[in-house]
Structure formats: C-alpha cells, structure tokens
Amino acid sequence: MKLKTYILSIAISAAFLSCQNSEKEKSQNNVPQKNTLSYDLLVKKPDSMAVPEGMKWVSGVKFTMGATEDDPYALPREKPAHPVAVDGFFMDATEVTNAEFAKFAEETRYVTVAERPIDWEEMKKQLPPGTPKPHDSILQPGSLVFRKSLEKVNNLNDYSQWWEWKIGANWRHPYGPGTNIEDKMNFPVVHIAYEDALAYCKWAGRSLPTEAEWEAAAKGQRSGGIYTWGDEEKTLNENANTWQGTFPTENKTEDGFNYAAPVKSFPANSIGLYDMAGNVWEITTDWFDVNYYNQALNQGELINPNGSDRSYNPDNPYESEKVMKGGSFLCNKSYCASYRISARMGLSMDSGTDHVGFRTILRPEKG
C-alpha cells in the first residue's frame, strides 16, 4: 500500500486491498513448468560452509505447500495445497533490524522509496485513466501509517479508515516527523519497498526468499501444522505479536505489544527462526497471483519454484504485487488471520508501510 493506492481508495473507490479478496476471476498467467527429471536435493548444510552470523540453516525438504484441509481461516488463494521441494539454504534468524539497515544506509548512502520525491507523471501511468492529480501538498515523500486513535469504523471493506498517508514517514521516522528509531534499533525495519529490500540484499551478498523457501523455513522441523508452533490457536498470544480485541479500534495487548515488537520477543520456531508469525509482514520474490496454486497442483512436484510469471490480483488490478508472508501485529482472526504459515498477501512493488519488513537468505552453491 502506498500513496497511489491511497489515492485510489479516496478518489475512485478502488477495489479493497485486504485479506478478504474475492479472488473469483481466472488468472492469465502461464502454468508453471512441471519438473520431470530426477533431482538431487540439497538437504544438509555443506561441510565446507560455516553458518553465517545471525543466520540458521534451513534443511532442504519436500513438503506440501499451501493451506491444510483443517485450517478454518484458509482463503482461496492459499489453495489447493501442492507438492514442492526446495534446496537447503541459510536464513536470517530475525527480520532485518533498524540497526542493520542503518549500517547499510550509512555505508551506501541509500535513499529508500519512501524518502524520494514523488513523480506524478510516473505515478499516473499506474492509475486508471482520468484519475485526478492530488494537490501538490499531498504529493510529498512519505508512507502509510496505521491510525492509532481510531474509535470506530463504518465498513471493514474501506481500509482508508485506518491507514493514513503520512508525509515524512519512512524507516528513520516510522510515524512521521518528530518520531525516530533511537530506542528501536532492535525492531524490524519498516516502510521498506521491494527495491529497497533488494538493494540491502545486494549490499549484504544475500537474497530475498521465494514463497516456497519462506514456507519451508516457517515449517522448520515440523512436517505439517497451521502455525509455526503447531495447530493450537489458543497459544497464539504466547507465540506471536498480533492484534487482540476488536480490529482496528481496540487492541487489548494480551501478547504484551500494541504495535511492532523488538525482534526475538517471542519464541523461535523449531529451527531457531524468530517472528515467522506476526510482528511485520516479510517480502518474498514471488509474484502475487491469486490463482497460481490452481495451476501448480497440476504440475506434479515443483522443485525450487519461483511462483507465477506475473502478478494477478483482480481486487488490485493496477498494481504489480509481490507475495508477502507471515502476517503482522495488525492481524486478527476477525479480519485477517495471516499469522498462519500458508497465508499470503500482495504487496505493491513500490510500497512500504509501518507493518512490512523483510529478512534475507543465502543459498549455497551446489557442487
């Protein structure tokens, strides 16, 4: 979500970008290629490689990707479940923190998307024809921030009620001018767009995970389960930073946090990865196609899949979106139970909000 999405919601009543998409239309993507040749899966960490600092080894694995049959919150875009196999890789134990991103920005003098001037001529190419130009006072660098003082909403399908375009909001100033990250260096960095995450990865010699790699990591040593800790929803507050109470007006903070939490505030999953459920969404490299799984099921076991070859979301047709995983501190079962492993949502490529971050991976070279 970003300024042009916000403009759509206000100016032309854009289709609802949420966890409750209709997903009724058929995708135009090419079906994924079937893997028919035998493949030697990399399961164990190569003996010649040490585990990089701050990372964990994710064993290569064959698994069923997508929603389980007994998941009451599963959405159509998470189905049908289908067989995949991924090679082993290293993954950050936590989401990239403000401290880590600050080091990158200092060394490279990188300027994030949220900090850059807005080019209306470029933006309007991604909007419906005839969309009126907002006042210049609105077309300023910034990002979307969750409204903290919301007393009521009239319609949960209108997300503009709880998102505010905040001029000056970015990773250094997560809630806008006058705010900073001085006491949040161990929090996940937010207001990060896809290209920002890629720039960090290039600097660090890492990559973003595919959706399949992310799910393999979230499952860890478990062969199944709706959540990273198993199937028990009743232990949610002990395992993840999410929203308790009535979304989006009242958070009872039964898990100890109103909004984002420092990394490692909750138990790690079975292989030592923290916050694979809740806290902030995590960006992957896959295109978000609500119907991709329907084609994937018919292709047999997919090996190291990269997802659909294009973005397709009928509820957000003017955007090119990537898949994000894991849910955030705003997820609540009455609205968006996306703290489940199979949950997937679209993120516009030049988007950033205060509940989206990322983590990186490192793939060993296969000898």
| pLDDT, tens digit (0-9, with 9 covering 90-100), for 150-173 | 878 887 777 778 888 899 999 999
Measured in whole angstroms, the distance separating CA 68 from the mean position of its chain's CA atoms is 20
What is the per-residue pLDDT for 326? 98
Burial class (CB in 10 A: 0-12, 13-18, 19+), 175: middle
- Stretch 345-358: mean pLDDT, rounded? 93
What is the per-residue pLDDT for 243? 96
The first and second tokens of residue 354, run together, are 């205060």
Cα–Cα distance for residue pair 151/64, rounded to 1 Å:
42
Q: Name residues whose C-beta falls within 8 Å of residue 55's C-beta, 6 or more positions apart in sequence.
A: 90, 91, 92, 93, 362
Confidence band (pLDDT; 50, 70, 90) for 27? very low
Burial class (CB in 10 A: 0-12, 13-18, 19+), 106: exposed
- Side chain identity at residue 230, one-letter code: G
The first and second tokens of residue 2, run together, are 């970003």
pLDDT at residue 37 greater than cutoff 60: no
Asked if residue 314 has a cis previous peptide bond (ω within 30° of 0), the answer is no
Nearest to 100 by CA among 208, 186, 174: 186
Provide φ and ψ at 249, rounded to 5°: -100, -25
What is the per-residue pLDDT for 153? 81
Are the C-beta atoms of 287 and 311 separated by less than 8 Å? yes
Question: Mean pLDDT lowest for which of 264-268, 294-298, 321-325?
Answer: 294-298
Dihedral of the alpha carbons of 274, 275, 276, 277, in degrees to the nearest 10: 140
The first and second tokens of residue 112, run together, are 């994030």
**Residue 95 vs residues 274, 280, 329: alpha-carbon distances, Å:** 8, 8, 14
What is the per-residue pLDDT for 106? 98
- Stretch 84-111: mean pLDDT, rounded? 98
User: What is the DSSP track for 89-119?
Assistant: EEEESSPPBHHHHHHHHHHH----GGGSPP-
**Residue 155 vs residues 2, 14, 276, 291, 336: alpha-carbon distances, Å:** 20, 14, 30, 27, 15
- Side chain identity at residue 126, one-letter code: Q
What is the per-residue pLDDT for 135? 83
pLDDT at residue 1 greater than cutoff 70: no
Measured in whole angstroms, the distance separating CA 185 from the mean position of its chain's CA atoms is 20
Question: Mean pLDDT lowest for which of 72-76, 118-122, 182-186, 200-204?
Answer: 118-122
Q: How many residues are listed for the chain in this entry?
A: 367
Question: Which bin fits 271, alpha (ψ -120 to 50), beta or left (φ > 0)?
Answer: alpha
Mean pLDDT score of the chain, rounded to an integer? Answer: 89
- Side chain identity at residue 44, one-letter code: K
Element (H, E) at 303: strand 302-303
Domain holding 145, by residue range, is 1-367
What is the per-residue pLDDT for 18? 38
The total domain count for the chain is 1
Any idea what the CATH number is for the domain that residue 360 is in? 3.90.1580.10
Cα–Cα distance for residue pair 98/186, rounded to 1 Å:
6
Nearest to 6 by CA among 216, 163, 206, 177: 163
Are the C-beta atoms of 66 and 342 separated by less than 8 Å? yes
Burial class (CB in 10 A: 0-12, 13-18, 19+), 197: buried
